[in-house]
Chains A and B, each alone.
Chain A
Amino acid sequence: MKPYAYVRARSVEEATAAHAARPGARYLAGGTNLVDLMKHGVETPETLVDVSRLPLDGIEELPDGALRIGATVRNSDLAAHPLVRDRHPVLSQALLAGASGQLRNIATTGGNLLQRTRCPYFQDTAKPCNKREPGTGCGARDGIHRDHAVLGHSPHCIATNPSDMAVALAALDATVHLYGPGGERTVPVTDFHRLPGDHPERDTVLEPGELITAVMLPARTAGLPSAYRKARDRASYAFALASVAAVLDVDDAGAVRHVGLAFGGLAHRPWRARLAETALLGAPPTEHAIAHAVDAELGLAQPLRDNAFKVPLARNLACRVLSELARR
């Protein structure tokens, strides 16, 4: 690892100014992914701008019932927050399904959104990878890709987004608040992560030097029945092979009034299942209707040689979770 400078920022403005002043600067929050990638030689910062002590560690309820989550709130604190646990159980469950107790005590909300894929070709500088080094090719496409994408991948990249939290945020219609050289802006979390296309090196729509300051959970999905379900190779402490976050609201007549459905482990970003949602809206969520809707979404899947198992796995997870929510 080559030596680098270190700056501890005391305000958001100071952090973005320090980042702008130093080429090769990277923001450091919990560091659970960044420090690991530095050890692998994948990340080679010239300066670390430490944002972990910025005053962004609060969870605040707004007058309209929305919840504003500061970017440096630790994953464990977010999962345990009484309002999150009560009104957004899918988010608490997704956070607790990820990583370990130790890591959740370190990792932050903003950092969780910015964690990189765990594709082994991305993490190994001796291997080709268009995400790490554009133009070198994708080692996984014809290599080891059992854990890789079945939806939305491109000839250049078949990596998946590893976050559990982001899948829940996608189902909850959360927004991401950013501050950067161009000022403040807000992006729906479903637009925050990109599909790989021709530029797999870009995971998100974040501009250079932009900093995540908060994540907002809107009032309209607060208190609705919701759940997260994750399938993985061991019972705990493993990334998702496939996961499902669902929010389902049924009206007095028994018809679906609101549904948010997102898949994890299947694509380069949390996969919001808009086709399935459209099929479910306005009709009773019967077993048949749910299966029909989920099949419509997963009809878009283009599995690779060794990961076709993910399609029925994701289908069964989604059907089970939606059926359970429909019975509440």
Chain B
Amino acid sequence: MSASHAAPAQAPTRSRVTLQVNGSPRTLTVDHRATLLDVLREDLGLTGAKKGCDHGQCGACTVLVDGRRANSCLLLAVAQDGTEIITVEGLAAGGELHPVQQAFLDRDAYQCGYCTPGQLCSAVGLFAEAAAGHPSYVTDPTRPSGQGPVELTAEEIRERMSGNLCRCGAYPNIVAAVEDVTR
């Protein structure tokens, strides 16, 4: 690092970033304070991800970043430059519902629906984690990690989905819908 990195009197507070959003590159200038959630909703018109608590406690803002589920309300957009984002709008490839979307319909796994986009993205992330053999808090501690997929029992699903709150209390049908996809 050279002396040229010394802070200028008026350091910029906005930066240009490119995000791959649901398969398309989106280049825009973002305020450094903007979260990924705000940019998705306010600048890119993708209002599927919801602002629930805005503090990482409810999971309504869950999206996939480079294939992994994350709370978009806690990610600064400027720090996500170059990442691949999948939102609930991007789950239905080619107009066909993702199996977990279909399962939520079949099981009526919601009431008001506000938490549903986050639940769906979280479930998609969960499938990848379990398939990679990643343990959860309720996985047998003696089971070696990464050797074959973890079986998604109802107990595993409840633990792994605990970062997504549903204030309508649709949990039983959410667990059932996620279980359906694993069968």
Question: Which chain A residues have a beta carbon within 8 Å of chain B's beta carbons?
Answer: 1, 3-8, 11, 13-14, 17-18, 21-23, 28, 31-32, 35-36, 38-39, 47-48, 50, 52, 76, 79-82, 84-86, 89, 92-93, 96-97, 99-103, 105-106, 227, 235-237
Contact A76 B129 (CB under 8 A): yes
Residues from chain B with Cβ under 8 Å of A76 in the complex = 68, 129, 134
Is there a chain A Cβ closer than 8 Å to B98's Cβ? Answer: no
**B interface, over-half SS:** loop
Contact B145 A82 (CB under 8 A): yes
Contact B69 A1 (CB under 8 A): no
In the bound assembly, the distance between CA atoms of A8 and B74 in angstroms comes to 18
Interface stretch (choices B20-28, B39-47, B105-113, B154-162) = B154-162
Contact A103 B75 (CB under 8 A): no
Contact for B158 among A22, A39, A236, CB less than 8 A: A236
User: How many residues from B make CB contacts under 8 Å with A?
Assistant: 51
Known pairs A3-B32, A96-B135; A18 contacts B141 (CB<8 A) = no
Contact B7 A47 (CB under 8 A): yes
Which residues of chain B in 103-146 are interfacial with respect to chain A, using CB atoms and an 8 Å cutoff? 122, 125-126, 129, 132-137, 139, 141, 144-146
Is there a chain A Cβ closer than 8 Å to B12's Cβ? Answer: yes
* Closest Cβ–Cβ distance, residue B118 to chain A (whole Å): 9
In the bound assembly, the distance between CA atoms of A76 and B126 in angstroms comes to 12
In the bound assembly, the distance between CA atoms of A14 and B59 in angstroms comes to 34
* Closest Cβ–Cβ distance, residue B5 to chain A (whole Å): 6
Contact A101 B32 (CB under 8 A): no
Residues from chain B with Cβ under 8 Å of A84 in the complex = 145
Is there a chain A Cβ closer than 8 Å to B1's Cβ? Answer: yes
Contact for B122 among A89, A97, A101, CB less than 8 A: A101
Residues from chain B with Cβ under 8 Å of A17 in the complex = 1, 5
In the bound assembly, the distance between CA atoms of A178 and B55 in angstroms comes to 29
Residues from chain B with Cβ under 8 Å of A8 in the complex = 79, 81
Residues from chain B with Cβ under 8 Å of A93 in the complex = 137, 141
Contact B76 A101 (CB under 8 A): no
Contact A85 B135 (CB under 8 A): yes
Contact A102 B141 (CB under 8 A): no
A-B pairs, 9 with minimum CB distance: A100-B163, A5-B11, A236-B162, A3-B13, A17-B1, A85-B145, A80-B134, A14-B1, A237-B162
Contact for A102 among B32, B55, B69, B145, CB less than 8 A: B69
- Selected A-B contacts with CB under 8 Å, 16 pairs: A3-B31, A7-B5, A8-B81, A22-B6, A31-B76, A32-B74, A35-B35, A80-B132, A92-B135, A96-B136, A100-B59, A100-B162, A101-B126, A102-B59, A105-B70, A237-B162
Q: Mark B143-154, 1 if CB is under 8 A from A, else 0.
A: 011110000000
Contact A5 B69 (CB under 8 A): no
In the bound assembly, the distance between CA atoms of A92 and B7 in angstroms comes to 40
Is there a chain A Cβ closer than 8 Å to B54's Cβ? Answer: yes
Q: Mark B75-104, 1 if CB is under 8 A from A, else 0.
A: 110110100000000000000000000000
Contact B146 A3 (CB under 8 A): no
Residues from chain B with Cβ under 8 Å of A235 in the complex = 158-159, 162
Residues from chain A with Cβ under 8 Å of B62 in the complex = 102
In the bound assembly, the distance between CA atoms of A22 and B10 in angstroms comes to 12
Is there a chain A Cβ closer than 8 Å to B182's Cβ? Answer: no
Residues from chain A with Cβ under 8 Å of B76 in the complex = 6, 28, 31, 35, 48
Residues from chain B with Cβ under 8 Å of A105 in the complex = 65, 68-70, 125
Is there a chain A Cβ closer than 8 Å to B33's Cβ? Answer: yes
Contact for A106 among B11, B75, B134, CB less than 8 A: B75
Contact A35 B74 (CB under 8 A): yes
**Chain B CB within 10 A, most for which of A6, A52, A82, A92:** A6
Contact B146 A80 (CB under 8 A): yes
* Closest Cβ–Cβ distance, residue B73 to chain A (whole Å): 8
**Chain A CB within 10 A, most for which of B69, B74, B126, B139:** B74
Is there a chain A Cβ closer than 8 Å to B56's Cβ? Answer: yes
Contact A103 B146 (CB under 8 A): no
Residues from chain B with Cβ under 8 Å of A6 in the complex = 13, 15, 32, 76, 78-79
